[in-house]
Amino acid sequence: MAHENQSKLCLVVEAANGEDTSRRVGAVLQSVDIAVLFISPAGCAQHNAAAARQLVEFAQSNGVAALVENDAQLARALRADGVHLSWAKQAVKQYEEARQIVGNRCIVGADAGRSRHDATTLGEAGADYVGFGIPADVVDRETASACQLALIEWWSEIFEVPCVALDVATLKDAKALVHAGADFVALAIPADLAIEQLPRWAQDLADALIDREAAA
């Protein structure tokens, strides 16, 4: 993942059976380029390998990097572009194990949560990007969002390793995170939008992800 002024969109999708997920991703691609597709397991801790394979192949055939969440062995087996690691107490150990499995040619990035120490250590260990997210069980989302903004602003001012804003809920949040210095923002496709509405949503998102220097 390149470190550039232009922030880019990452989509988070669940690997479920059927063609619907690929169709929805394809609808987004009609209006905006996607840098990365984060592939997460659908409703459980383990991936559906067949569904994940379908998404990896679909992403790569459209010039999009495909990262499998938390399963380096599966990422290697599917020839995905890499693996994304959720926050863990032993973040650096988890990173090192994943790197050993997929090798140096693949992307390995990790969510550092709210820890500056973990983020710094991951960057020094060779992570291709460091992410800052908001866990789903956090009740005070407003405080968590403010913390996320502060972490991204801190990281972007000091480090060259790309920064990903994870668990982004709205277009407004995406724009604020870009202005704070995020190189990439990761959103899930809204489940309540019909497929024909997704190109418009994607275009609105693209408009939010403007060059931060131009916006300054």
Return the CATH number at 55. 3.20.20.70
Say how many domains are in the chain: 1
Give the pLDDT of residue 96.
Answer: 96
Q: Would residue 23 count as lying in a domain?
A: yes
Q: Would residue 73 count as lying in a domain?
A: yes
Q: Would residue 1 count as lying in a domain?
A: no
The candidate with the shortest Cα–Cα distance to 147, out of 112, 171, 108, is 112
CB 9 within 8 A of CB 187: yes
Q: What is the mean pLDDT of residues 85-101?
A: 94
Q: What is the mean pLDDT of residues 57-84?
A: 96
pLDDT at 36 over 90: yes
How many CB atoms neighbour CB 177 within 10 A? 27
Task: State the residue range of the domain holding 170.
Answer: 8-215
Q: Would residue 2 count as lying in a domain?
A: no
Mean pLDDT of the chain: 89
- Residue 137: is it exposed, middle or buried by C-beta count within 10 angstroms (0-12/13-18/19+)? exposed
Angle between helical axes of 20-29 and 198-208 (0-180°, round to 10):
50
Give the pLDDT of residue 156.
Answer: 94
Give the pLDDT of residue 2.
Answer: 52
Tally the C-alpha atoms within 13 A of residue 32's C-alpha that lie toward its C-beta: 25
Give the pLDDT of residue 44.
Answer: 67
170 or 66, greater pLDDT: 66
Give the pLDDT of residue 168.
Answer: 92
